[in-house]
C-alpha cells in the first residue's frame, strides 16, 4: 500500500510561520486533509480539499499541494497550535485510506 511521509517533529517561534509537509504518491491524484490532535484528545479536521477550513478553524491555517507533496501552513503560530498534525488521503494502491505518520509541532 502507499504511504504518506511526514517529518516527525517541527518547531516554530511564537508568531512565526511554519509549513508542515506530507509526501506520497496518492497526493498526485487526491487532495490531503489535515488533522490536529492534542494530547488525550480526538483529532479534529483543520484543512481539507484544495484549501478549505471547517467552521471554527482560524484563518492562519492554510493548505496547498504541489506534485506529490501537500503542505499545511500556519501563519503566525500561536501557543495553542502546539499539537500533533496528521495528513491523510484516499489511496488506490492497497488500503482505500492512508495516514501520514504525524508531525509534532512545538511552538517556542
Partner 1 sequence: EVQLVESGGGLVQPGGSLRLSCAASGFTFNTYDMHWVRQAPGKGLEWVSAIGTAADTYYLGSVKGRFTISRENAKNSMYLQMNSLRAGDTAVYYCARVSTGYYFYMDVWGKGTTVTVSS
> CA 71 to CA 83: how far, in whole Å?
16
Grid cell locating 20:
508542515
Site string for partner 1, 13-32 (x = CB under 8 A): -----------------xx-
Query: Residue from 5, 11, 52, 92 that binds partner 1 (CB under 8 A)?
Result: 52
Of 14-22, 49-57, 64-72, 73-81, the segment contacting partner 1 by CB under 8 A is 49-57
Grid cell locating 105:
509541532
Query: Residue from 56, 66, 79, 94 that binds partner 1 (CB under 8 A)?
Result: 94
Residue 57 contacts partner 1 per CB under 8 A: no
Query: Residue from 48, 60, 68, 75 that binds partner 1 (CB under 8 A)?
Result: 48
- DSSP conformation class of 29: T
With residues binned 3-state (H G I as helix, E B as strand, rest as coil), the percentages for the chain, rounded to 5, are 5, 50, 45
> CA 38 to CA 50: how far, in whole Å?
24
**CB within 8 Å of 50: residues ≥ 6 apart:** 31, 63, 65
Q: Where do contacts with partner 1 occur on this chain (CB under 8 A)? A: 1, 30-31, 33, 35, 37, 41-45, 48-50, 52, 54, 84, 86, 88-90, 94-102
Amino acid at each position: 500500500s502507499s504511504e504518506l511521509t511526514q517529518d516527525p517533529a517541527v518547531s516554530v517561534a511564537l508568531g512565526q510561520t511554519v509549513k508542515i509537509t506530507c509526501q506520497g504518491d496518492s497526493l498526485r491524484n487526491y487532495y490531503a486533509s489535515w488533522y490536529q490532535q492534542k494530547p488525550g484528545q480526538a483529532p479534529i479536521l483543520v484543512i481539507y480539499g484544495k484549501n478549505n477550513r471547517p467552521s471554527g478553524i482560524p484563518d492562519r491555517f492554510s493548505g496547498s499541494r504541489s506534485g506529490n507533496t501537500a503542505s499545511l501552513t500556519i501563519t503566525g503560530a500561536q501557543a495553542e497550535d502546539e499539537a500533533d498534525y496528521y495528513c491523510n488521503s484516499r489511496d488506490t494502491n492497497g488500503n482505500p485510506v492512508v495516514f501520514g505518520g504525524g508531525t509534532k509541532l512545538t511552538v517556542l
